[in-house]
């Protein structure tokens, strides 16, 4: 080692801590690095399909399931704060969105260490109110949960951060209207299926300029002051951990009781038999040349297992033929989807196409496909039909791949309030019973263009721009279409929705979700695990 280098090293070593360069230091201690990674594996004959209810009173409910499948030192904790305020108006919705964004902004530096140590969190809105999700290594998960809930309660919103976050949201709303048309169309379909409590981006963006810092501060207190707390804990956490998490949220927020009669009730609009609607919207981006159509057929209630399984089986049978016809053979566009589409309480089947060709033409090709498929279905052999049933059953009973996937399955049933934790197994049993004549009758009533009972809603997003040569391509495609038997005049005769309020006023709202089992049946009676 050179002497001059050794001399420099000695000098550096002799420097006192006070005189050292502040930029040269070891990383600070990360409080989120887990110390306990043990998993107590307990053999079970069969993994439980549902979580258990440990607490259920006027202020809070606790769902819990100890991981009995994946045996990893991880957990997922979800906290839902039910409140009717967030969806009472578009202005309230914007305030709640700003609040959740400001919470994340305030925790950005704090949560960095947590992320490095394998912990993640999110604060956002869900259909029933505020939504908080914390996941990762379970050992230090409660530390992060406590800090996030405390920040929600104590958030001191500064003027400069408020303006930055509000400007960010303004840009977000503006950019949403400039994205691909197929990314936008679903929001309009949701909006037109919701009786109330649902707002599109244009409505939210219109409220944002008038929302003030003081308004968000006041709303923060109102929103958190009276809620119902619903907690879901899943993974390497015990009963006492789940109850402690719930107690922690309650003790930090100290909310007033939200009477059960004031809990949000999720409903959807019911399209009447024979109805045929179209909603047209011009896209904001003048450079966008891609139109989009989403055509949705109402088939019934989401809780009706017979209706749902017939729809799933139809998807299994016609998904590939639809893509082959509309995308591969007709080359209508690169984006072609088909499949079941559920809303809060209703169920249906949708086709979605993004293309440079006009929405009316795309919609007519969907009709032509359905008319053609009626014949395909009639001619399908029993062997092929039974093969589709087996394939669908295999898909429905596919094993869960990880803890997160199981948590998502549980939480979907909790948040939609059906509590149908055995959905896949019961669906599979129902699919076995379906016969070809039943499915043909169902298709002919709900999807066939010849049906007088069909209920249809089509969303047409119209681009301002036009791709070079598209007129000629569509003209040639139309000539080929004219040579085929006519699929009917549903596209031409559809009733246009020009007044959304009037449209919604003319439809009946569904009942709210009705649980497949009383929640008391999920209450825990087992010995401590």
Cβ atoms of 346 and 270 within 8 Å: the answer is yes
What are the φ/ψ torsions at residue 484 (nearest 5 degrees)?
A: -90, 160
Cβ atoms of 230 and 80 within 8 Å: the answer is yes
- 213 sits in which H/E element: helix 213-225
For the chain, give the mean pLDDT: 96
* Structure confidence at residue 25 (pLDDT): 67
Tokens of 22: 């502040």
Q: Whole-angstrom distance between the N-terminal and C-terminal Cα of the chain?
A: 62
Per-residue model confidence as pLDDT tens digits over 129-155? 999 999 999 999 999 999 999 999 999
Distance of alpha carbon 217 from alpha carbon 222, whole angstroms = 9
Closest by CA position to 189, among listed 277, 114, 251? 277
* pLDDT value at 475 more than 50: yes
Percent of the chain residues topping a pLDDT of 70? 99
Q: Residue 154, exposed/middle/buried by CB under 10 A (0-12, 13-18, 19+)?
A: exposed
Cβ atoms of 53 and 519 within 8 Å: the answer is yes
Alpha-helix runs per DSSP H in 288-358: 305-323
Number of helices (H) and strands (E) in the chain: give both, helices first.
18, 14
- 216 sits in which H/E element: helix 213-225
Per-residue model confidence as pLDDT tens digits over 188-234? 999 999 998 899 999 999 999 999 999 999 999 999 999 999 999 99
Cβ atoms of 517 and 419 within 8 Å: the answer is yes
Identical fold at 52-264 and 269-509? yes
Strand partners, 231: 62, 79
* pLDDT value at 405 more than 70: yes
Distance of alpha carbon 280 from alpha carbon 459, whole angstroms = 6
Q: Which CATH architecture best describes the domain 269-509?
A: 2-Layer Sandwich (3.30)
Average pLDDT value for residue range 328-351:
97
For 8-77, the three-class secondary structure string (H helix, E strand, C coil) is: HHHHHHHCCHHHCCCCCCCCCCCCCCCCCCCCCCCCCCCCCCCCEEEEECCCEEEEEEECCCCCCCEEEE
Q: Domain limits of the chain?
A: 52-264, 269-509
Q: In what order do the strands lie in the sheet with 60-66?
A: 52-56, 60-66, 228-235, 74-82, 129-137, 119-126
Considering Cα of 422, then 427, then 428, then 429, what sign does the dihedral take?
positive
pLDDT tier at 1 (50, 70, 90 boundaries)?
Answer: confident
* Structure confidence at residue 342 (pLDDT): 98
* pLDDT value at 529 more than 60: no
Per-residue model confidence as pLDDT tens digits over 235-271? 999 999 999 999 999 999 999 999 999 999 999 999 9
Distance of alpha carbon 264 from alpha carbon 284, whole angstroms = 33
Query: Which of the 8 DSSP states describes residue 261?
Result: G
Closest by CA position to 529, among listed 243, 113, 122, 171? 243
Cβ atoms of 176 and 461 within 8 Å: the answer is no
Tokens of 167: 């400007």
Alpha-helix runs per DSSP H in 329-485: 359-379, 382-396, 403-415, 423-433, 436-446, 470-482
Rounded to the nearest 10 degrees, how much is the dihedral formed by the CA atoms of 408, 410, 411, 416? 120
* Structure confidence at residue 201 (pLDDT): 97
pTM (two decimals):
0.93
Distance of alpha carbon 253 from alpha carbon 60, whole angstroms = 12
The label of the residue with tokens 């949705």 reads 296
- Kindly indicate whether the domain formed by 52-264 is annotated with CATH number 3.30.830.10: yes
Per-residue model confidence as pLDDT tens digits over 354-396? 999 999 999 999 999 999 999 999 999 999 999 999 999 999 9
* Structure confidence at residue 243 (pLDDT): 98
Average pLDDT value for residue range 266-292:
98
Higher pLDDT, 444 or 525: 444
Strand partners, 347: 300, 342
Cβ atoms of 99 and 216 within 8 Å: the answer is yes
Higher pLDDT, 21 or 171: 171
* Structure confidence at residue 527 (pLDDT): 42
Distance of alpha carbon 409 from alpha carbon 469, whole angstroms = 47
Distance of alpha carbon 17 from alpha carbon 15, whole angstroms = 7
pLDDT tier at 164 (50, 70, 90 boundaries)?
Answer: very high
* pLDDT value at 120 more than 70: yes
């Amino acid at each position: 080692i050179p002497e001059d280098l050794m001399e420099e090293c000695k000098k550096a070593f002799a420097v006192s801590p006070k005189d050292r360069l502040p930029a040269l230091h070891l990383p600070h201690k990360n409080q989120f690095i887990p110390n306990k990674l043990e998993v107590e594996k307990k053999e079970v004959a069969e993994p439980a399909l549902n979580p258990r209810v440990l607490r259920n009173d006027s202020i809070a409910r606790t769902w819990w399931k100890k991981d009995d499948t994946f045996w990893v030192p991880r957990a997922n904790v979800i906290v839902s704060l039910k409140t009717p305020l967030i969806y009472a108006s578009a202005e309230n919705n914007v305030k709640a969105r700003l609040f959740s964004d400001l919470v994340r902004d305030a925790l950005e530096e704090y949560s960095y260490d947590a992320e490095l140590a394998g912990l993640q969190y999110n604060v956002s809105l869900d259909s029933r109110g505020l939504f908080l999700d914390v996941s990762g290594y379970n050992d230090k998960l409660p530390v992060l949960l406590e800090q996030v809930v405390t920040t929600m309660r104590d958030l001191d919103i500064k003027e400069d951060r408020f303006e930055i976050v509000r400007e960010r949201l303004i840009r977000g709303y503006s950019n949403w209207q400039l994205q691909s048309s197929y990314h936008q169309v679903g929001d309009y379909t949701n909006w037109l299926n919701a009786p109330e409590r649902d707002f599109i981006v244009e409505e939210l963006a219109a409220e944002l300029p008038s929302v003030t810092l003081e308004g968000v501060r006041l709303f923060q207190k109102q929103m958190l002051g009276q809620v119902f707390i619903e907690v879901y804990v899943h993974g390497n956490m015990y009963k006492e951990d789940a109850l402690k998490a719930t107690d922690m949220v309650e003790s930090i927020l100290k909310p007033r009781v939200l009477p059960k009669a004031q809990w949000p009730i999720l409903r959807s609009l019911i399209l009447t038999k024979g109805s045929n609607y179209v909603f047209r919207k011009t896209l904001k981006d003048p450079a966008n040349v891609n139109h989009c159509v989403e055509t949705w057929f109402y088939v019934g209630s989401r809780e009706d297992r017979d209706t749902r399984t017939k729809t799933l089986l139809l998807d299994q049978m016609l998904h590939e033929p639809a893509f082959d016809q509309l995308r591969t053979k007709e080359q209508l566009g690169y984006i072609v989807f088909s499949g079941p589409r559920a809303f809060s309480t209703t169920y249906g089947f949708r086709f979605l196409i993004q293309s440079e060709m006009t929405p009316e033409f795309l919609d007519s090709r969907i009709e032509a496909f359905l008319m053609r498929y009626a014949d395909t279905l009639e001619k399908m052999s029993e062997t092929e039909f039974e093969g589709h049933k087996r394939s669908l059953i295999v898909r429905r009973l596919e094993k869960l791949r990880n803890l997160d996937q199981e948590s998502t399955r549980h939480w979907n049933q909790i948040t939609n309030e059906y509590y149908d934790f055995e959905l896949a197994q019961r669906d599979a049993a129902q699919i076995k019973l379906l016969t070809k004549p039943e499915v043909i009758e169902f298709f002919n009533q709900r999807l066939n263009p010849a049906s007088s009972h069909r209920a249809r809603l089509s969303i047409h997003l119209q681009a301002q721009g036009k791709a070079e040569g598209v007129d000629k391509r569509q003209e040639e495609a139309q000539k080929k279409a004219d040579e085929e038997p006519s699929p009917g005049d549903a596209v031409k005769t559809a009733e246009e929705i020009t007044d959304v309020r009037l449209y919604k006023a003319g439809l009946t709202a569904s009942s709210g979700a009705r649980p497949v089992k009383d929640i008391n049946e999920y209450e825990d009676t087992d010995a401590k695990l």
